[in-house]
Structure 1
Amino acid sequence: MKKLRVAVIGAGMGGLATAAALQRSGIEAHVYEQAAKFTRLGAGIQIGCNAIKVMREFGLEPVLRNECFYPRSWNNKEFDTGEVRFDMEFGALAEERYGAPYLLGHRGDLHAALASAVNPATINLGHKLVGFEQMTDGAVQLTFDGQSPVTYDAVVAADGVHSLVKKTLFGHDEPNFTGRIAYRTVFPASLLNGYEIDDCTKWWGPDRHIVIYYVKPDRSEVYFVTSQPDPGFTVESWSAMGDVKELRAAFEGFHPQVGRVLEACPSVHKWALVDRDPLPRWSDGNVTLLGDACHPMTPYMAQGAAMAIEDAAVLSRCLDGVDRDGVAQAFQRFEATRKPRTSRVQLSSRTNTWLKDPSNPDWVYEYDAWNVPLAAATEVV
């Protein structure tokens, strides 16, 4: 059987994880990314035990342990008194319970690790997708701005919330602006002048919260992300800058630890928090969506990237041993396997109640994308 050739659109977390998983299974996968180069964007990321299990198969666990912070817990506290609402312990307890560590890192470091698991010759930067066409023989022709068309047996669109592929296949959908905004930044811990913060804490206020944690094993970098009302702001961009003074004013009255962190931070980014409903369909023929392109979610469970990374492992299993004629059914099987879980996480995250009070998170962290049962052929429609 001729080796399957797959084009992956987008070199974010989901796209790189998909390429790594497909290449690991012997499939020829090529990544196309519109950016001209990779940059270390200033944001933290929580890497759940469920995501680590996927990346362990790429040989990345030692790298991530070396680059990331290993927290004792995810502690949920009252915004002003610091009273503990729920202390979700991680560390060695999580490793024993879920079979993998829970790590806190910098998005740039996680991205670099995933990129290292992909054959560099197969990563094509500076390629902006402008259109595609499914041919009568099942092949898919891709057109990139200023480039000659290329043809593949299958296409995986990991091109994010503004996915051109999603818009082309299923039409444009307006995001549901939540009326809330988030500020975020990473800055050197040295700016705290020796002041120690908790490993990872979410400070719960009446109508707003802030999550603060270290992102390096030596505690040299601090990250925070907020959520608060701001109905008039509708910029859905991770690069828009915010006003530090406005941010500090928005969290007056919070615990002194929060005040010290906000006083030390030199600059922040600001973006509107949006929500989208689960899509009715993810694929059409030999083209499928993956990650944020088909199940974007609010950040309140810290599982957006993890869901895309899980997608990658399950998709590679569905495509294993498949030829071009079997791709469409493999994509349907992928959707049937993944949609119940991603929809549950998507809708659970929407409520912003995750770990606010004592709860059992096993259903999130014990998931193993390499071994979860795939949907039976009879479940594929």
Structure 2
Amino acid sequence: MDHMTRVAVIGAGLGGLTVAGLLQRDGFAVTVFEQASEFWRIGAGIILGASTAKVLRRLGLEEALVQTGIRPDAFVSRDVATGTVLNDMPFDAAAEARFGGAFVNIHRADLHRLLLSRLAPRTVRFGHRLLGLDETGDGVRLSFADGLVAEADIVIGADGIRSVVREAILGHEPPRYVGKVAIRAVFPRARAPGVPMRDCTKWWGEDRHVLAYFMTERRDECYVMAAIPDDRWDADTPPAPGSRDTFLDAFPTAHPELRQLLMATENVSLLPICDRPRRDVWSSGRTVLMGDACHAVRPFMAAGGAMAIEDAAVLARAITTFDEPEQAFARYAAIRIPRVGDVQRISAENSWLRVPGETDWFFGYDPFAAPVDRAA
């Protein structure tokens, strides 16, 4: 497609901002429509591997990513009750050289800020909630709740698990509650003085787990997320406040080090964990999906953000390469579906990195390596 192509990205999440930045870098006219009125420093942390560092490198953000977040020394797996170390995978210089990029933990809001810095002023239009879209033959007309009507040559649905763009392509299919609730907290490290804490540790129980990690090199802010079974929730249950007792009651036999850490939590929140059954229809006409809008995964592999950013790289390459949207979208889906399918399956199993295993396929992935051309 030529650089006169008007691209509308719906959703200013990690994937939406990344694809917007890559396409702008290649000269495309991009507008991002976001329903929120502005960005807030809310949410939680995110774990990124070498594949996402390769994408941020193309945007000139890899060094800023590393400086803003933290290079964890390792990913450690421990038994939730005994504390036994089940896996200790180092993320040292040798691992970075092997996989081709840095491993970084970072607050999502800080990553948003970095991605936004690579966009031209006024690229993101806040306060625009999409109501629907209609393909007009040579373009797409988008209608928003505030009365705005916009035109685009292609539309990228990066609007998350409750995607309006997805509904336009696949019809109404509500997210699927997976039977577990996430308990999350971000709190100062000073609340847990003397409590041992590695840069990134996952504590494994029989039907539940806790993930705890730092989000900056200062190691002054902790993020703790647990997943526990709960049949009282569903996909439409809104997030709710919790307390440290929510953590403690969920892990009554926790190892002393973990229990001390949970006792330090504050500003606790609960929300249902949802995904979607696999559907390999990712586009229709001039409209395409990416990230959670088309392949929402359970957060048990800490790979959802990475998949959206990888999607952005492959989709931007395809749009730049092909003359017709349908060709670009077909090639993008053909490259991404097998990998995302593996991630969806392993995330559902909740087995990733529990014990040592083969990891090159995941950490060594390069979204710029798969051939994106007419011959392929």
User: Normalization by structure 1: what TM-score?
Assistant: 0.94
- What's the counterpart of residue 19 of structure 1? 20
After superposition, the Cα gap between the structure-2 partners of 1:63 and 1:285, relative to the gap in structure 1 and judged at 3 Å, is same
Equivalent position amino acid for 1:270 in 2: L
Question: 1: CA distance between counterparts of 2:200 and 2:359?
Answer: 17
Question: 2: CA distance between counterparts of 1:238 and 1:232?
Answer: 12
- What's the counterpart of residue 3 of structure 1? 4
Identity %: 41
Which among 351, 355, 361 is matched to residue 353 of structure 2? 355
* 1:271-291 superposed Cα distances (whole Å, 9 cap, x missing partner): 112232221301000000111
Q: Would you say 1:302 and 2:302 are equivalent positions?
A: yes
Q: Secondary structure at the match of 2:51?
A: helix
* Cα pair 1:337 1:375 within 8 Å, conserved: no
After superposition, the Cα gap between the structure-2 partners of 1:376 and 1:351, relative to the gap in structure 1 and judged at 3 Å, is farther
Gaps of 5+ in 2: none
- What's the counterpart of residue 326 of structure 2? 328
Q: Would you say 1:42 and 2:38 are equivalent positions?
A: no
Q: Secondary structure at the match of 1:294?
A: helix
How much has 1:116 moved relative to structure 2? 1.0
CA RMSD of aligned residues (A): 1.7
After superposition, the Cα gap between the structure-2 partners of 1:343 and 1:263, relative to the gap in structure 1 and judged at 3 Å, is same
- What's the counterpart of residue 365 of structure 1? 363
Matches for 1:43-62 after TM superposition, within 5 Å:
43-62=44-63
Q: Secondary structure at the match of 1:85?
A: strand
- What's the counterpart of residue 72 of structure 2? 71
- What's the counterpart of residue 125 of structure 1? 126
Question: 2: CA distance between counterparts of 1:42 and 1:344?
Answer: 26
Q: Secondary structure at the match of 2:295?
A: coil
* Cα pair 1:333 1:377 within 8 Å, conserved: no
* 1:146-166 superposed Cα distances (whole Å, 9 cap, x missing partner): 233111110000000000111
Matches for 1:216-231 after TM superposition, within 5 Å:
216-231=216-231
Q: Secondary structure at the match of 1:37?
A: coil
* Cα pair 2:32 2:125 within 8 Å, conserved: yes
How much has 1:237 moved relative to structure 2? 7.0
* Cα pair 1:8 1:19 within 8 Å, conserved: yes
Equivalent position amino acid for 2:360 in 1: D
* Cα pair 1:188 1:220 within 8 Å, conserved: yes
After superposition, the Cα gap between the structure-2 partners of 1:177 and 1:253, relative to the gap in structure 1 and judged at 3 Å, is same
After superposition, the Cα gap between the structure-2 partners of 1:2 and 1:11, relative to the gap in structure 1 and judged at 3 Å, is closer
Which stretch shows the higher mean deviation, 188-197 or 259-268? 188-197
Question: 2: CA distance between counterparts of 1:175 and 1:130?
Answer: 18
* Cα pair 2:177 2:273 within 8 Å, conserved: yes
Gaps of 5+ in 1: none
Question: 1: CA distance between counterparts of 2:257 and 2:368?
Answer: 40
How much has 1:236 moved relative to structure 2? 5.5
Which among 343, 346, 356 is matched to residue 345 of structure 1? 343
* Cα pair 1:291 1:308 within 8 Å, conserved: yes
* Cα pair 1:275 1:350 within 8 Å, conserved: no
Q: Secondary structure at the match of 1:320?
A: helix
How much has 1:373 moved relative to structure 2? 2.3
Equivalent position amino acid for 1:348 in 2: I
How much has 1:195 moved relative to structure 2? 3.1
Q: Secondary structure at the match of 2:355?
A: coil
* 1:197-253 superposed Cα distances (whole Å, 9 cap, x missing partner): 112111111221101111111101001111111111225678532233122111121
Equivalent position amino acid for 1:306 in 2: A
* Cα pair 2:6 2:154 within 8 Å, conserved: yes
Q: Would you say 1:311 and 2:308 are equivalent positions?
A: no
Q: Secondary structure at the match of 1:270?
A: strand
* Cα pair 1:175 1:276 within 8 Å, conserved: yes
* 1:76-125 superposed Cα distances (whole Å, 9 cap, x missing partner): 11112211111111121321111111111111111111111111321101
Question: 1: CA distance between counterparts of 2:83 and 2:64?
Answer: 34
* 1:132-151 superposed Cα distances (whole Å, 9 cap, x missing partner): 11002x20011112233111
How much has 1:300 moved relative to structure 2? 1.1
